[in-house]
Structure 1
Amino acid sequence: MKTITRTDERILTADIFDRDAKPPRPQLGTVHEPGRDIPVYRECEVLVVGGGPSGTAAAAAAAKQGADVVLLERYNHLGGLSTGGLVIWIDRMTDWEGQLVIRGFAEELFDRLPQDAVAGPPQPDWGSQDAAKAHHWSFRTAAYHGVVTWSPTIDPERLKLLSQEIVIERGVKLVYHSWACLPLVEEGKVVGATFESKEGRMAIRAKVVVDATGDGDLFARAGAAFTNDIEEADVHHCMNTSWLFGGVDMDRWIAFRSGNPDGYNAFMAGGREACGLFERPFVSWRNDIALFMGPRQSGYSALDVDDLTAVEVRSHRAMAAHLAYYQAKAPGFEGAYMLQSAPQIGVRHARRLKGVGAVLRSQWPEGRALPDEIGVSPAVSPKFPNISIPYGALVPETLDGLLACGRHISCDRNSHGFMREIPQCWITGQAAGVAAALAVQAGVQPRAVDIAQLQRALQSQGVFLRTTETVEA
């Protein structure tokens, strides 16, 4: 077990647990798959593969821009890790001054979610450095470095429904229970993808494909360059399956944690001894539901089916062990019960695109709006200014016909720690969707989209962008 401490470049503190031993996989030869003709299910202008935060934003944005869109999703819902992964704590959407910089599609979601589906600090408190307010919200995942932030928790079922209804309202052809297999590539250009469902294998032809798989499945299989330099001691590169406990009283738990630090430390030490893998609870959108986003497990690959299975097995066993210990030892958890384990595994990192641009650690101190800025991310700490997200981070170095969005965009390992978060995925997804639609309308490749036109279109959809002059002023 490793314990990661909070620094100016790391918001989260967490214990990280090494993998179990992995037996070698036997080498059993191969089988021959004969060639076959695959029926074409649909033709469209923009195909979005993956309905997580970035894919949902991409499909909604492309359709709003006037494109004919198909959204392909392997599960029975949209939202990805923000819903099916139970990552219902949405990371910081305000900067350290309290300005809302994660806007556009993200802002529309929160404007339309029911009030009882969202929990977080009121808008007048965003950016507050009042000690009492910061103390209160620090135990509710909404204050860091003594600053209150807009980082709410949400009802995952409400977000599933709203995400679905938005894309349907805009005329997107939504296809659930369908897993993309291989990109269709002609002369170095992606022109669609094949997918598997209960009907067997079919294909979708498209003028532009948006890879929102989270793991870069399509761009990797199409031959685009990528990196997967996972840092095993980094909480941002671990895996786990999240879960919810019902029947709790989180106010009582927070009173214990904040009012009795010695008792809390003893509780955590006892939990590590009793359970091995051990994690503290987070608040949710309700006082009677606790969220567990760990224990975070290191050394497993999101691209290895045996590793994925091992993480699921360990996580579900940890859920049962946690319930027994919390019921016996934790104030507010005496009547706790297993409410739900996430149907989607919590993958934080697999591949990252090598794009024509990138979000880089070296850019953090500059605070400069890049010429091809398509979004702005809050910095990881108040010592840094806001961080510019370039369009080039979505565009492969050489592969045409495809854009990437979400946690696998072009960035270095440090920047990936926040670029993989849900608000940033909404940003890059919306940019990819708008850019894909503009590429189709102009009859050009995504890399040739007019940047000024893209920026105007994003601003018309409510995205927060800056100009170089504004930043310098």
Structure 2
Amino acid sequence: MIERFGSLGGNLTLGLNTKPSGALVGGLPLEIWNLARASGGAGEDYMAVVKTGGVKIASPCDPEMMKMILTRLCAESGVQILFETVVSAPVVEGDTVKGVIVESKTGRQFIAGKVVIDCSADADIATRAGAPFVMGGGGEAKTMQPVSMYFTMDRVDLVRLSEWAKTTDDVPARAIPKTVEGLDYGLWLTGFNKSLRAWQEKTGVKLQRDNITLKTADGRMYVNGTRVTNVDVFDPVQFTNAVLECYRQIEGVARYLRETIPGFEKARIEAIAPVLGVRETRHVVGEYTLSGEDSIEGTHFEDSIAADASALDIHDPKGADVDFQGLRPYEIPYRALLPLGVEQLLVAGRCISADHAAHARSRNMPACMATGQAAGVAAAVAIDTGVSVRKVSVATVQQKLRALGMPLHGDEVKGTM
């Protein structure tokens, strides 16, 4: 496993996102969360009230504990992790990926692989190997969901905040625990639109987002309140400018919370994510492209490798309010993990073959974890049986996924709405 940072988890841990934005319905993702719960690193699932009714959400995790859990599980399973190592290019012979070139403190090295799985989120290896792709909703930065940056605050009076949240109409989407103990992992509040707008008009501070989401993990407050639109994250200057703009907005959001929201009077910024939260870039074009209709209507696929219960979570590319709603589970076909034109390569995570509308669900952590699980199993089956990943027995892959406890079809998932 080649990892460009010094810990595993990506946006879940380093990005301080912490929450799957949907239920974890089985398999290794649920096993990992149950391990976190057993060690006090996550809470119980909760039903959040949103504009379409209710949606079941796995509780946030403690990102520091999750770093240790993920690394330990890999090490115990015999995975060789290479931290602080960047994959710079694939090595391709004909149309087949034979391995990757990496850069580390040692210098440049070649790592051979019978199968390569691209979990870079941006499809870096797949596209450099020649796989076709679509950028965002049609090729320009303005068609992609905006970038953000999480931060945490301490010294927040959670009891005072939760009591106030019960009385206001400015937090329409919420999960408020009934007990004080539940506040550690179970408080989730989204909204603040009216007061945020009024505060900006009063102070003259201009932010780029209409709403704010607050959530707790191990009693710490995580804040999702920044937004930068029209960013080409592959341009280092634009990327850097987006980080600087997020820093400016973080100062403004923290000030708004302290001056406006009960419970934040003594709060201060504790930590800022060291990575920019990028929601959307390249969508690989695979043997099948998951459509928005598929993800909403729950299209049945014979080659489904996961049923996903992620919420529909759209941050409008033009900067409008967030559309977050619970929908019935949908299915992800194995073909969406197979890029066209390139052999012995699988993609997993938010760069799978899905259109802009389907991406509103498939980009979320439950789906990313599920496709990663499926890609790993498919690669192992292909190697064990001596066939290519494109010709692997999907039935065998499905059998092994079921043995891990992963539901494959939408009607096998209950109680997520």
Question: TM-score band (shorter)?
Answer: 0.7 to 0.9
Equivalent residue for 2:184? none
Among candidates 87, 94, 97, match of residue 17 of structure 2: 87
Equivalent residue for 2:187? none
**Structure 1 length as normaliser, TM-score?**
0.74
Equivalent residue for 1:465? 408
Please, what is the CA RMSD of the aligned residues? 2.7
- Aligned pairs for 1:160-309 (under 5 A) are 160-230=67-137, 237-261=145-169, 267-273=195-201, 274=203, 275-277=205-207, 279-287=211-219, 289-309=220-240
Among candidates 425, 428, 435, match of residue 378 of structure 2: 435
Larger radius of gyration: 1
Query: Structure 2: how far apart are the matches of 1:347 and 1:397?
Result: 24
Among candidates 28, 42, 47, match of residue 118 of structure 1: 42
Q: Is the 8 A contact 1:120 1:150 kept in 2?
A: no
Unpaired segments of 5 or more residues in structure 1? 1-70, 94-99, 127-136
Among candidates 1, 4, 8, match of residue 78 of structure 1: 8
Q: Percent identity among equivalent residues?
A: 30
Displacement after TM superposition at 1:469 (Å): 11
Equivalent residue for 1:418? 361
Worse overlay, 171-180 or 146-155: 146-155
SS at match of 1:448: coil
SS at match of 2:115: strand
Equivalent residue for 1:8? none
Q: Is the 8 A contact 1:243 1:341 kept in 2?
A: yes
SS at match of 2:92: strand
Q: Is the 8 A contact 1:250 1:283 kept in 2?
A: no
> Which letter maps to 1:173?
Q
Equivalent residue for 1:315? 246
Dislocated runs of 4+, deviation >6 Å? 231-236, 467-471
Among candidates 326, 331, 339, match of residue 257 of structure 2: 326
Q: Is the 8 A contact 2:225 2:253 kept in 1?
A: no
Q: Is the 8 A contact 2:52 2:326 kept in 1?
A: no
Equivalent residue for 1:63? none
- Aligned pairs for 1:42-121 (under 5 A) are 71-93=1-23, 102-115=25-38, 116-121=40-45
Deviations, residues 171-217 of structure 1 (Å, cap 9, x unaligned): 00011000110001111110111111111111101110000000000
> Which letter maps to 2:216?
S
Query: Structure 1: how far apart are the matches of 2:7 and 2:310?
Result: 31
Q: Is the 8 A contact 1:369 1:468 kept in 2?
A: no
Displacement after TM superposition at 1:311 (Å): 1.1
Deviations, residues 409-452 of structure 1 (Å, cap 9, x unaligned): 00111100110101100100000000111111122211010111
Deviations, residues 35-82 of structure 1 (Å, cap 9, x unaligned): xxxxxxxxxxxxxxxxxxxxxxxxxxxxxxxxxxxx000101100101
Q: Is the 8 A contact 1:119 1:154 kept in 2?
A: yes
Equivalent residue for 1:345? 276
> Which letter maps to 2:308?
S
Displacement after TM superposition at 1:225 (Å): 0.5
Query: Structure 1: how far apart are the matches of 2:120 and 2:69?
Result: 20
Worse overlay, 323-332 or 185-194: 323-332
> Which letter maps to 2:198?
G
Q: Is the 8 A contact 2:294 2:358 kept in 1?
A: no
- Provide closer, same or farther for how the CA distance between residues 370 and 351 of structure 1 changes in structure 2, counting only shifts above 3 A: same
Query: Structure 2: how far apart are the matches of 1:266 and 1:429?
Result: 39
> Which letter maps to 1:225?
P
Equivalent residue for 1:134? none
- Provide closer, same or farther for how the CA distance between residues 234 and 334 of structure 1 changes in structure 2, counting only shifts above 3 A: farther
- Provide closer, same or farther for how the CA distance between residues 351 and 204 of structure 1 changes in structure 2, counting only shifts above 3 A: same
Among candidates 58, 61, 74, match of residue 151 of structure 1: 58
Query: Is 1:378 matched up with 2:309?
Result: yes
Q: Is the 8 A contact 1:230 1:350 kept in 2?
A: no
Displacement after TM superposition at 1:234 (Å): 9.0
Count of aligned pairs between the two proteins: 376
Equivalent residue for 1:453? 396
- Provide closer, same or farther for how the CA distance between residues 316 and 469 of structure 1 changes in structure 2, counting only shifts above 3 A: closer
Displacement after TM superposition at 1:154 (Å): 1.2
Query: Is 1:392 matched up with 2:335?
Result: yes
Q: Is the 8 A contact 1:211 1:402 kept in 2?
A: yes
Query: Structure 1: how far apart are the matches of 2:393 and 2:128?
Result: 28
- Provide closer, same or farther for how the CA distance between residues 77 and 235 of structure 1 changes in structure 2, counting only shifts above 3 A: farther
- Provide closer, same or farther for how the CA distance between residues 144 and 235 of structure 1 changes in structure 2, counting only shifts above 3 A: farther
Query: Structure 1: how far apart are the matches of 2:32 and 2:412?
Result: 30
> Which letter maps to 1:193?
V
Unpaired segments of 5 or more residues in structure 2? 172-191, 313-324
SS at match of 2:87: strand
- Provide closer, same or farther for how the CA distance between residues 148 and 401 of structure 1 changes in structure 2, counting only shifts above 3 A: closer
Worse overlay, 152-161 or 325-334: 325-334
SS at match of 2:66: helix
